[in-house]
Amino acid sequence: MAKSKIDLISSMIEEPIRQLSAELVEVEYRREAGDQYLRIFIDREAGVDLDLCSRVSRAIKGLVDEQGIEYDHLEVSSPGLNRKLISNKDFQRFNGQRVKVKLSKRFDGPRQVVGVLIGHSEQVLKVENEQGTVEIPRSEITVVRLHPDL
């Protein structure tokens, strides 16, 4: 999937989602088992419920259809308990929370780090775990997710 199509979808739907007091977290546009899925992940401080997902779906469906973006399934949902952390805003909001950081194969060190997010900059994430503070170059990170104790 071309990143530009995801960027187009994101820019198109971000404001209508914000008007419903929610935040666009991520857009997925992918083919699975022969069907094209458009998944919109939203969040808000008070949590996401079915009513909010329905309202967001109704607010964005026409915009997506107007642009001729083809899909078989449109899904709007919460990013879940193990949500991805993508933006600096996410890192700030979830500072102090447990995270799981997966690293690229070229990284000279462990492939994943689990601990408490204690800081971030444009270049580095700082995670505290049993070994101490680990400074992880953001360029080597493949994904960061919340990792709640269940």
- For the chain, which residues make up each domain, given as ranges? 3-77, 88-146
- Report the range out of 41-45, 52-56, 79-83 with the highest average pLDDT: 52-56
- Looking at the predicted structure, is the pLDDT value of residue 143 above 60? yes
Q: Which CATH architecture has domain 3-77?
A: 2-Layer Sandwich (3.30)
* Closest CA relative to residue 59, chosen from 120, 13, 103, 122: 13
pTM: 0.81
| Cα(40)–Cα(28) distance, integer angstroms | 7
Give the CATH number of domain 88-146; options: 2.40.10.340, 2.30.30.100, 3.40.30.10, 2.70.160.11.
2.30.30.100
Q: What is the mean pLDDT of residues 12-34?
A: 95
**8 A C-beta contact, residue 145 and residue 129:** no
pLDDT tens digits, 69-107 = 999 999 999 999 999 999 898 999 999 999 999 998 877
For residue 110, the model assigns a pLDDT of: 84
Read off φ and ψ for residue 106, nearest 5 degrees. Answer: -80, -10
Q: Return the SS3 of 120.
A: strand
* Closest CA relative to residue 86, chosen from 99, 70, 72: 99
CA atoms within 13 A on the CB side of 148: 7
